Amino acid sequence: MKVLVVGGGGREHALVWTLSRSTRVKTLYCAPGNGGTDGLAVNVPVPAHDVEGLIRLVREFGIDWTVVGPEDPLAGGIVDRFREEGLRIFGPTAKAAAIEGSKDLAKALMARSNIPTAASRTFHQAHKACAFVRQEGRPFVVKADGLAGGKGVVVAQSVDETCRTILDMLEEKKFGQAGARILVEEILEGPEISVLAFTDGRTIVPMPWSQDHKRLLDHDRGPNTGGMGAYSPPRYVTKELETEILETILKPVVATMAREGNPYQGVLYAGLMLTREGPKVLEFNARFGDPEAQVILMRLETDLVDIMEAVDDQRLHELDIRWSQDAAVGVVMASAGYPGVIETGRMIQGLETTLEGTMVFHGGTRKEEGRVVTSGGRVLTVCGRGRDLREAVDRAYSLVECITFEGAQYRTDIAWRSLK
C-alpha cells in the first residue's frame, strides 16, 4: 500500500513515523514534508493547499490513501475533491471541518447541542465590541473567528488590553480575513485539556488524554503560541470525568452533526477547560493537534491504516484500538523570536543523538547541502516515553540538552501540572 501524508510540520512527521511502522504500508510520501520526514517518506514539493496538485500526485504514483494533517486544506475542501475523484482520504469534509474554520459557527453548533462552553459575543465592528467590553468593565478572551495558525486567541489581562486586541484584529487586520469577525468570550479558569477522538460519524473512540502548553514561557506566561509542548496522560483525569466528557460533549456534537446531514468522520479535537462547574469547550479542531499528536501517536499500538479504513467504512465499532500504558512527553524547541518574527537557516546540531525511549519530530526544518537547518517557528518536538510521567519528562529533557541551534528557546516545565 502507498500512503500520502499532507503537510510539513511536527504532526505530519509523527503521522509519517506512525505509518512507517505499519506492516501494510510499502511506500510513504509526504507533501511537502520537512527535514525529518525525508528518509522515512519521499518528500514531494507540492504545497498542502494545492489540492489539484495533490490529486495529480496521487494519480501519478498510484497512492492508495491520503492523510491530511493541517486544518487549512480540510477547511478548503480537500476531502470533498478527493472523494469526487474516487480517491480514499482520511479527514472531515469542508462542511464538517467548519467546526474549526469558524468559531462563531462552532458556538452555534454547541448551543444546538446543549454543550457547555464559555459565554461569548460575536462582532465585526471594533467600536461595538469595545463598547461592550467597557460596559462590562472586565477583561475578555478575544478570538479571531477564522483559522489563524493557532495564534488568533488573546487572553487579555485588562479592559484596555482587550480593546487594544480588538482593534488589532478588526482594524489593523493582524490576522487578515481570519480576524474580520471576532468572538469576545468570558475568561474561564482551570486547567486546560485536549481530548481527541476517532469517529466515523456514529461511533466515537476517544484517544488517551493530553495537555498542551500554549503559552511561550514557563508557568504559562507570555503570549499564546501554536503549542510549546504536550504530555499524556494528565494525572487528574478520572474515569468519571472521561465519561462526563464523552456524554456531554463528544456524543452530542457528533449526533447533532449527523442529524443535520453533516456527519463528521476523522479526528475530532475538543480543547476543554476543567472549571469548577465542570468541563467546558474552548474550541473544536478538525484534525490531530500539534504537539498533541506527537505524544499521543507514540502511545498508539493499533495499525493506523486499520483505523483509517474503519472510519471510512463506518465500522469503527468493530475495531479494538489499543494504546500503550506508558507516558509520553513532547518539548517544542522554537526559533528565536517565535511566535513573532523569526530568522531561519540556523544549523541544527545533535540530531544524531540516540537515547532510550526518545524520538525527535521535525516541524520547521529542511535539509540544505546535507545539513538540517531551521525553516520555521516551531522547529522540533523532542519526545520522551517512559513507564511513568517522571521518566518520560527526564528522557525528553535529556535529549533536548543534546540538541542545539542558534537562538533556540523552549519551556523547561512541560507537564508541570501533573508533576507538582
Residue 311 lies in a domain: yes
Q: Is residue 111 part of a domain?
A: no
At residue 237, does pLDDT exceed 90?
no
Of 166, 185, 204, the one marking the end of a domain is 185
Residue 258 belongs to a domain: yes
Are 331 and 348 within one domain? yes
Same-domain status, 176 and 259? no
Average pLDDT estimate for 156-185: 95
pLDDT surpasses 90 at 341: yes
CA distance 89 to 79: 6
Residue 367 has what pLDDT?
A: 94
In this structure, the answer to whether residues 411 and 392 fall within a common structural domain is: yes
50 lies in the same domain as 156: no
Phi, psi (rounded to 5 degrees) for 68: -100, 125
> Which domain does 85 fall in, by range?
2-93
- 204 with 306, same domain: the answer is yes
Our count of domains for the chain comes to: 4
**CB-side exposure of 147: number of CA atoms within 13 Å?**
16
Identify whether residues 175 and 239 lie together within a single domain: no
DSSP structure class, residue 186: P
Q: What is the pLDDT of residue 236?
A: 82
| 125 shares a domain with 46 | no
pTM of the model: 0.95
Residue 114 pLDDT = 97
> What is residue 150's predicted lDDT score, i.e. its pLDDT?
74
Give the pLDDT confidence of 358-400 residue by residue, as tens digits.
999 999 999 998 899 999 999 999 999 999 999 999 999 999 9
Note whether residue 272 is domain-resident: yes
Q: Tell me, yes or no, whether 371 and 310 share the same domain.
A: no
Distance CA 189, CA 137 (A): 18
pLDDT of residue 211: 96
Closest among 67, 21, 13, 6 to 37, alpha carbons compared = 13
- Is 113 among the domain residues? no
In a domain, 199, yes or no: yes
Please report whether residue 114 resides in a domain. no
Among the listed residues 154, 172, 176, 167, the one whose alpha carbon sits nearest the alpha carbon of residue 72 = 176
List the alpha helices (DSSP H) in 273-358. 292-297, 304-312
CB 19 within 8 A of CB 28: yes
Q: What average pLDDT score do residues 210-215 get?
A: 94
What is the share, in percent, of the chain residues with pLDDT greater than 70?
Answer: 100
| CATH number of the domain bearing residue 361 | 3.90.600.10
Q: What's the pLDDT score for residue 329?
A: 98
Q: Which of the listed residues 136, 162, 185 is the one where a domain comes to its end?
A: 185
Residue 170: CATH number of its domain: 3.30.1490.20
As a whole number of angstroms, the distance between CA 287 and CA 74 comes to 9
* Boundary (domain end) residue, out of 93, 128, 145: 93
Residue 261 and residue 276 in one domain: yes
Give which of 355, 357, 419 is closest to 387, Cα–Cα: 357
Tens-digit pLDDT profile for residues 301-340: 999 999 999 999 999 999 999 999 999 999 999 999 999 9
- Average pLDDT along the chain: 96
For residue 68, the domain's CATH number is 3.40.50.20
pLDDT at 420 over 80: no
Quick check: is 37 in a domain? yes
Are residues 197 and 305 located together in one domain of the fold? Answer: yes
Label residue 288 by pLDDT band (50, 70, 90). very high
**Confidence band (pLDDT; 50, 70, 90) for 151?**
confident
| pLDDT for residue 296 is more than 90 | yes
